Amino acid sequence: MPPTREERFAGSLFGLALGDAIGAPYEGGPLSGFLWQLIGAGERGKLRWTDDTQMTMVLTEHLGARSVPDPDVLAREWANAMESRRGYGPGSRRLLTRIASGEDWRDVNRSIWPEGSMGNGAAMRAAPFGLRWSEDREARSRWVYETSRITHAHPLGIDGAHLIADAVSRALHAEESAPDFLEALAEETQSRPFVEKLRQAVRWGADPVTPARAAAELGCSVLALESVPAALYAGARFAERRDFDGMMRFIIAMGGDVDTIGAMAGSVFGARCGVGALPPERLVELEAKTRLEAAAIALYKRSAQ
Ligand code: R7I
Ligand code: MG
Ligand code: MG
């Protein structure tokens, strides 16, 4: 039996949090991993997630509580929820600190790079838009844009967010092979640099390329243009086999921005396979499960109205 829509909503958000938490100790190599063990300490013994889940959870709650997002309110909610120990990107941390102290996001979102950030910080939190407006591309696209630019004004940062939202909405009902899924996304997106990366993965067809080759040809850094295609490839490939553990082993072996690639791939995996396909022994360890579950249910109800 295919998962219900409600199971897919929960699957997408829990898949994101699990991918983030399982990947977190591997982000940025051994030294960062060691630091994460030291400063990331949260509820004792729990599988701890990072900024990727923190921002997604706040966004999911925001979307569940109203018919359309309010970017000014959302910017403050993100800023107030920021905790340094969650390992935020350096640019995002600075912008959110300024927003928390009362500055308008419009005045700060191009203060570090003239065109804004092209990091993956908007893409890592875009999954809820794919769930909320799965059938309405125009609304999905509008709200991804209006909220991504709070911290990521650069077109590549925003394009990456559109792709993750589109992929999650597609994964809610499509049962295609990985190459067909990636080709459909490539056809939908207007962003040339992303189309080239996606077509590269489409050309691999059903050949199981090694993590090293995927990392070399797609990239796996914190830039949206690298980590988003890598996550879409891993998510699509392993969702076909309902193999979450295999997906995480592949992502860890690719290296680079492991928590974020895990989060984005996990959100696609969960939207397609449902919460029942996530490893139960890891799910029970996940921190703040009750809050995440309530956020998923509220978003589900809102999108069903
Ligand atoms: O995108 P962002 O929120 O970072 C998210 C990442 C994820 O891996 C999380 O797990 C967390 O670890 O951080 O934060 P930004 O600082 O906006 O962007 C991330 C990085 O991308 C920056 O620190 C830069 O190294 C790089 N970057 C750029 N470099 C050159 N020119 C982003 N934009 C530019 C740019 O325009
Ligand atoms: Mg993170
Ligand atoms: Mg990361």
Whether the CB-CB separation of 274 and 3 falls below 8 Å is answered with yes
Find out whether 55 and 78 touch, Cβ atoms under 8 Å.
yes
3-state secondary structure (DSSP) of residue 119: strand
Mean pLDDT confidence for 166-185: 96
Candidate of 117, 151, 220, 225 to mutate for ligand 1, largest count of ligand atoms within 8 Å of Cβ: 117
What is the pLDDT averaged over residues 33-57? 80
Hey, what are 25's tokens?
A: 């100790």
Pocket lining: 160 vs ligand 1, CB cutoff 6 Å: no
Distance, in Å, from the CA atom of 66 to the CA atom of 170, rounded to the nearest integer, reads 23
45 pLDDT more than 80: no
Report the pLDDT averaged over residues 171-183: 95
Nearest CA to ligand 1 atom 20: 119
- At residue 297, what are phi and psi to the nearest 5 degrees? -65, -45
Q: Write the DSSP symbol of residue 88.
A: -
Q: Which residues pair with 119 in a beta bridge?
A: 223
Of 16, 151, 222, 257, which is best to mutate to test ligand 1, by the most ligand atoms within 8 angstroms of its C-beta? Answer: 222
pLDDT tens digit sequence for 56-103: 999 999 999 999 999 999 999 999 999 999 999 999 999 999 999 999
At the topology level of CATH, where does 5-303 sit? ADP-ribosylglycohydrolase fold (1.10.4080)
Percent of the chain surpassing pLDDT 90: 91
pLDDT of residue 30: 74
Sign of CA dihedral 244, 245, 246, 252: positive
What does the pLDDT look like over 22-34, one tens digit per residue? 999 998 777 777 7
Whose Cα sits closest to atom 21 in ligand 1?
A: 119
Question: DSSP class of residue 3?
Answer: P
Tokens 């070399």 correspond to what residue? Answer: 216
Domain ranges of the chain: 5-303
Indicate if the pLDDT at residue 41 is higher than 70: no
Alpha-carbon distance values, 70 to 27, 58, 66, 147 (Å): 32, 13, 9, 9
Q: Does ligand 1 lie within 6 Å of residue 150's CB atom?
A: no
Measure 60 CA to ligand 2 centroid, in angstroms. 17
Q: How many angstroms separate the CA atoms of 281 and 162, rounded?
A: 32
Cα angle 300-240-120, degrees, rounded to a multiple of 5: 65
Tell me which DSSP letter residue 67 carries: S
Round to whole Å and give the CA distance between 9 and 275. 8
Which pLDDT belongs to residue 39?
A: 64
- pLDDT at position 236 over 90: yes
Residue with tokens 């207007």: 190
pLDDT digits (tens, 9 = 90+) for 120-150: 999 999 999 999 999 999 999 999 999 999 9
Residue to mutate (ligand 1; options 99, 118, 148; most atoms within 8 A of CB): 118
Query: Is any ligand 1 atom within 6 A of the Cβ of residue 90?
Result: yes
Say if residue 44's pLDDT is above 90.
Answer: no
Residue 304 pLDDT exceeds 60? yes
In sequence order, the β-bridge partners of residue 223 are 119
All residues with CB under 5 Å from ion ligand 3:
27, 257, 259-260
Closest CA to 232 of 280, 271, 289, 278: 271
- Minimum mean pLDDT among 27-36, 51-60, 98-107, 265-274: which range? 27-36
pLDDT band of residue 40 (cuts 50, 70, 90) is low
